[in-house]
């Protein structure tokens, strides 16, 4: 494993170790600070796989917790966003483990990027978690939440009960956010509950990845594909997870 990969894996592990998962397998990501104005999920991921880019810095812009970088590469300019850092025009950079977004609209910068990579700089650890954003269990209500409407609407318990049938299919789930972690592996992570399922059976808490934002305690509607047995390394994996979801309130 290269030094850059080892550094990156170590950062991910820091976030992972702070988490408490109710499923049989350990949780992948928890307890990093949520920036107040993360980019909204107004674009679309090109694919679930990661990408990279190498070149020199042609332009930078800081917004919220991100540094946006226009990179001059051998095949032309590319835009990328990484956890906020100091860079100068002309600096050599390599973006790794990035998720490619197309037609991404940044409300903070008030511009739309035809294509942008959300990742980290090779050889540089991403910013360490500043503080947990998971509220104490008593601070977040576990009162029942109305099931999402429509043909794809499911409760959390239904997602777990029908996971084999729902695998790789999109579902819509309404739930209350109990934990939120921003900017890891180029996406935001949250846990939702809706009053269905039980801790004993591990089907009461659903993990979601998204480029959208939320606050602990918000009731949100998430829509995205159900994926099973996703392993993010360091011995951490999810039995059930919704990835690349959109969020509405």
160 pLDDT tier (thresholds 50, 70, 90): very high
Predicted local confidence at residue 122, as pLDDT: 86
- In this structure, are strands 44-45 and 92-106 parallel, antiparallel, or unpaired? antiparallel
Average pLDDT, integer, range 157-171? 97
Predicted local confidence at residue 233, as pLDDT: 56
Predicted local confidence at residue 99, as pLDDT: 78
Tell me which architecture the domain covering 44-121 has in CATH.
Answer: Beta Barrel (2.40)
200 pLDDT tier (thresholds 50, 70, 90): very high
Taking all residues of the chain, what is their mean pLDDT, rounded to a whole number?
A: 76
77 pLDDT tier (thresholds 50, 70, 90): very high
| Cβ atoms of residues 156 and 179 within 8 Å | no
Given CATH 2.40.50.140, say whether it is the number of domain 3-33+130-248.
Answer: yes
Average pLDDT, integer, range 111-117? 88
User: What's the count of helices (H) and strands (E) in the chain, helices before strands?
Assistant: 3, 11
Residues 6+ apart with CB under 8 A from 143: 176, 195
Does residue 125 register a pLDDT over 60? no
Fold match between domain 3-33+130-248 and domain 44-121:
yes
Domain-by-domain residue ranges, the chain? 3-33+130-248, 44-121
Average pLDDT, integer, range 187-206? 92
Average pLDDT, integer, range 30-59? 56
Is the pLDDT higher at 234 or at 72? Answer: 72
């Amino acid at each position: 494993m290269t030094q850059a990969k080892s550094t990156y894996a170590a950062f991910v592990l820091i976030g992972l170790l702070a988490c408490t998962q109710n499923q049989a397998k350990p949780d992948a990501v928890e307890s990093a600070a949520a920036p107040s104005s993360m980019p909204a999920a107004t674009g679309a991921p090109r694919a679930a796989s990661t990408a990279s880019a190498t070149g020199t810095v042609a332009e930078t812009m800081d917004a919220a917790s991100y540094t946006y970088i226009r990179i001059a590469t051998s095949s032309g300019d590319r835009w990328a966003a990484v956890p906020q850092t100091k860079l100068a025009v002309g600096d050599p950079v390599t973006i790794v483990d990035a998720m490619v977004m197309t037609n991404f609209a940044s409300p903070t910068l008030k511009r739309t990027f035809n294509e942008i990579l959300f990742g980290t700089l090779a050889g540089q650890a991403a910013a360490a978690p500043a503080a947990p954003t998971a509220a104490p269990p008593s601070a977040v209500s576990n009162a029942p939440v109305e099931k999402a409407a429509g043909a794809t609407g499911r409760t959390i318990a239904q997602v777990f009960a029908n996971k084999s049938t729902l695998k790789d299919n999109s579902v819509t789930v309404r739930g209350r956010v109990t934990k939120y972690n921003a900017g890891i592996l180029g996406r935001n992570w949250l846990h939702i509950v809706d009053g269905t399922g039980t801790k004993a059976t591990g089907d009461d808490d659903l993990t979601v990845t998204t480029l959208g934002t939320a606050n602990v305690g918000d009731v949100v509607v998430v829509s995205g594909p159900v994926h099973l047995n996703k392993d993010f390394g360091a011995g951490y994996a999810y039995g059930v997870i919704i990835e690349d979801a959109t969020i509405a309130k």
